[in-house]
């Protein structure tokens, strides 16, 4: 029985027909076209009925905690209720589920701020509230595996020949790996996105170099540093566990997105804190260590959740998509870590 359950868990889950049929009817009724592009499904950019100016900076919001079988027929009307949408992008995986997050872009920063005010914490369905933050449109790429001898001015000229929108660069040697790392600033998110698509192949063809190009994160400068600690315990600090539980891993494939089910638990942290309170043990303590970035921008964290009064330490690994701010990213990491602890406790 256990083996059969494991096999079923490893199978690809196909979306239910009813939500997909509802989406298709809504698209036909409203004459709306969606375009699938590189793991995301896009509406507008702009839509055919757009009459306003092209959006500037701070006009986009980042939406998380979206149930996996919730689609544009519910999300676009909801975010359009605040103001006309220039663009809406729902991140999708190969199975047909959404990946739990999306981006909505408006014509002005004021409307985007109003969307955050009105819709952050909105209950999309019973027990599930979405989170809405200001989106930080990334304009920096990190290029690694460059030759140690490369010079800043030389690299800048090369990059401007290969792609558009390069503003400035910063080059730093990595003595332990005998390579250099470059952080490249672009004039826009679009220019950076286009460069990310072409630079690897361009360097390979023109110079025979196998470089890596990823979105730059401020946390890349501090690998393995404790980024976040939350102490809800009544005790003075975590003690050495007598018998630590097994390692809880949450590894995510590139196609599957940042979490298998971002909304399986609407507030795992609250549930974990309630369990600790009811049983009379100290509240959980969280520590997160940034490890590294995946090739598509996902962040890898090593975490420890300590419950001092029972001498338990729950270690694990998280892979998640970065939020618009470090605080938002760590809030999502804390929620996921709490969810893993709850899943482990259910097996006891």
In a domain, 6, yes or no: no
247 pLDDT more than 50:
no
Contact 256, 326 (CB under 8 A): no
- Pair 242, 339 in one domain: yes
- Pair 238, 211 in one domain: no
- Pair 293, 243 in one domain: yes
pLDDT at 71: 95
13 pLDDT more than 80:
no
- Pair 124, 165 in one domain: no
Give the confidence band of 175 by pLDDT, cuts at 50, 70, 90. Answer: low
- Pair 311, 272 in one domain: yes
- Pair 241, 264 in one domain: yes
> What pLDDT, in 10s, does the model give residues 270-279?
888 888 777 7
In a domain, 5, yes or no: no
- Pair 201, 230 in one domain: no
pLDDT at 22: 93
Domain boundary, last residue among 76, 109, 134: 134
> What pLDDT, in 10s, does the model give residues 320-339?
777 667 777 777 888 888 88
> What pLDDT, in 10s, does the model give residues 47-106?
988 888 888 878 999 898 898 889 999 999 999 999 999 999 998 887 778 888 899 999
Residue 35 preceded by cis peptide, ω within 30: no
Please choose, from the candidates 128, 125, 159, the residue with its C-alpha nearest in 3D space to the C-alpha of residue 143. 159
Q: Which domain holds residue 192?
A: 140-215
In a domain, 242, yes or no: yes
Domain boundary, last residue among 134, 167, 194: 134
In a domain, 90, yes or no: yes
The DSSP code for 265 is S
Mean pLDDT along residues 126-133: 86
CATH number at residue 18: 3.30.70.330
Give the confidence band of 309 by pLDDT, cuts at 50, 70, 90. Answer: low
- Pair 201, 238 in one domain: no
- Pair 130, 226 in one domain: no
220 pLDDT more than 90:
no
- Pair 116, 149 in one domain: no
42 pLDDT more than 60:
yes
Q: Which range among 58-62, 77-81, 177-181, 219-223 has the greatest average pLDDT?
A: 77-81
Q: Is 228 left (phi over 0), alpha (psi -120 to 50) or beta?
A: beta
In a domain, 314, yes or no: yes
Total domains in the chain come to 3
In a domain, 8, yes or no: no
In a domain, 319, yes or no: yes
In a domain, 93, yes or no: yes
Domain boundary, last residue among 197, 215, 233: 215
Residues 169-174: contacts with CB within 8 Å, 24+ apart? 171/146, 173/148, 174/144, 174/148
Residue 96: exposed, middle, or buried by beta-carbon count in 10 A (0-12, 13-18, 19+)? middle
- Pair 149, 262 in one domain: no
Mean pLDDT along residues 307-319: 75
- Pair 18, 126 in one domain: yes
């Amino acid at each position: 029985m256990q083996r059969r359950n494991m096999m079923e868990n490893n199978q690809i889950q196909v979306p239910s027909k009813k939500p997909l049929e509802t989406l298709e009817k809504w698209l036909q009724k409203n004459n709306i076209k969606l375009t699938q592009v590189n793991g995301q499904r896009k509406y507008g950019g702009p839509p055919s009925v757009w009459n306003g100016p092209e959006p500037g900076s701070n006009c986009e919001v980042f939406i998380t905690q979206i149930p996996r079988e919730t689609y544009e027929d519910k999300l676009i009307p909801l975010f359009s209720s605040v103001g006309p949408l220039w663009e809406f992008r729902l991140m999708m995986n190969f199975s047909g589920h959404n990946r739990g997050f999306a981006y909505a872009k408006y014509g002005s920063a004021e409307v985007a701020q109003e969307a955050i005010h009105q819709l952050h914490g909105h209950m999309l369905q019973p027990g599930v509230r979405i989170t809405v933050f200001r989106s930080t449109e990334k304009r920096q790429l990190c290029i690694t595996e460059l030759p140690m001898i490369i010079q800043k001015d030389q690299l800048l000229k090369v990059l401007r020949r290969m792609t558009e929108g390069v503003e400035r660069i910063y080059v730093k040697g990595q003595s332990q790996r005998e390579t250099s790392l470059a952080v490249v600033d672009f004039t826009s998110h679009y220019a950076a996105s286009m460069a990310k698509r072409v630079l690897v192949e361009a360097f390979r063809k023109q110079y025979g170099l196998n470089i890596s190009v990823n979105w730059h994160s401020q946390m890349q400068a501090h690998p393995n540093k404790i980024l976040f600690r939350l102490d809800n315990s009544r005790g003075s600090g975590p003690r050495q566990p007598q018998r630590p539980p097994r390692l809880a891993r949450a590894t995510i494939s590139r196609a599957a997105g940042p979490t298998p089910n971002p909304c399986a638990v609407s507030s795992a942290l609250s549930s974990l804190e309630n369990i600790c309170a009811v049983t009379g043990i100290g509240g959980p303590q969280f520590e997160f260590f940034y490890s590294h970035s995946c090739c598509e921008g996902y962040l890898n964290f090593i975490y420890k959740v300590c419950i001092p009064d029972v001498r338990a330490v729950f270690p694990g690994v998280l892979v998640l998509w970065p939020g618009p701010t470090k605080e938002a990213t760590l809030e999502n990491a804390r929620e996921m870590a709490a969810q893993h602890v709850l899943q482990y406790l259910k097996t006891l």
